[in-house]
Amino acid sequence: MSFTDYPQAATDNAKRALKIREEEGTDCGTPVGWESARIIANKEAITEQRLPRVYSFLSRAKTYDQGSFKDEDGKQICGSIMYAAWGGDEMHRWAERTLENMEEEKSLRHIKSVEETATEIIITYGKAEPMEEAGYDKEEERAEAGELSVGDFVSWDSSGGRSQGVVREITTDGQIEADSGFKVNGTAEDPAALISIYEYDSEESAFVERKPPLRVAHLFSTLTKVDGAEVRSLNEVVEQRAYDGELKAAVEGRTVEGYASVFNSMSEDLGGFREIILPGAFSNVLDNDVRALYNHDSNYLLARTTSGTLELKEDDKGLYYRFEMPNTSYGNDMLELFRRGDLSQSSFGFTVEKDSWRMEEGQHVRYIERVGSLFDVSPVVYPAYASASSGLRSAEPKGESEAEEARETPTEELNYNLHNALIKLAKDEC
């Protein structure tokens, strides 16, 4: 099934967007967006498969349409250009109406949500009901200029309902570009924010950062701040941090030890900010049910505090951990990775109970004063910090001068192959 009965005004909108691209050039949009503009401008048929994507994009992008292709300084407004490229308001209304008409059941009156994933678009239809019963009378408080800071947890309306994430970067005079290439212009009256998307993990009963990570751009006027207390009362925000350290490993012994966190150590750039964990941050969580995992993956359980196989302690340096590598197929494989020097980094999964933010040398720096929950410590492949360690303790410890110094950074290709080998071994066991 395909459609050509969309409004002429939608075609005119697409033509206007294409004209500015042809005459002036533009960095706005993606090849997919401009192909949609070409189809609409030429009045070509829109397939049943493309129609949900058109509606999904316009539902999201309406927020960024400012009604003009240029601002007062003559700079292009990408949100307005691409909204027109996909047909604008007229196409949005037509797409919604057409999708509803396609639904055979008379009781399903309106589109309730649209969820777009990498492989499919899911449209949920809601039954006709009074607007106040559907919750549409509840207005969210929008963030004002100056109200949000880097590190704040925020939510916003999306085509699939409410989305949420953590602010990573803010600008009041310039553009912020999302991972998709979509750009937002921030002003002093309505700043723009770069946000890491967090999703609810039912197993953790908490919000965790989306994997693979995805950063989106929004104006403050579209965001609602969710303070830390509210987040923790609903669902905690689980974060992960990884450290890179020099590994000295011997070929004998099965004891793995390292520091999952090192105090007073400046992290690498975590997406618009850097971070320091202060001494004593873990003092209240050492009795948590903590696991040792490979790469934070629960399929590769290595040890656990409640079973007595994982030792944790906080000392002057940081959060120390130690365990005996299990005698399993993936455990033995990991021992080989340690001995070869392919694994030398540590990480931990946690929630924050208390932190503070400072501006230092033009950078946002977050100081973590108290960790709320500690979920796991993990030897990992990729680091985010420039300190801490994970390694093997020899059955007969030798001096550092006699220990074999491992490579500091394995190649991406090698780690990819090793990780896939572990997955294959685990599947062969099942």
Question: Model-level pTM?
Answer: 0.44
The Cα 302–Cα 327 span in angstroms is: 10
pLDDT of residue 113: 55
Q: Set out the domains of the chain in order of their start, with CATH numbers.
A: 2-126 (no CATH), 153-234 (no CATH), 238-429 (3.20.16)
**404-424, pLDDT tens digit by residue?**
222 223 333 334 444 444 444
**358-396, pLDDT tens digit by residue?**
888 888 888 999 998 898 888 877 654 444 444 554 333
pLDDT of residue 382: 62
pLDDT beneath 70: ranges in the chain: 102-142, 159-161, 202-205, 227-252, 271, 382-430
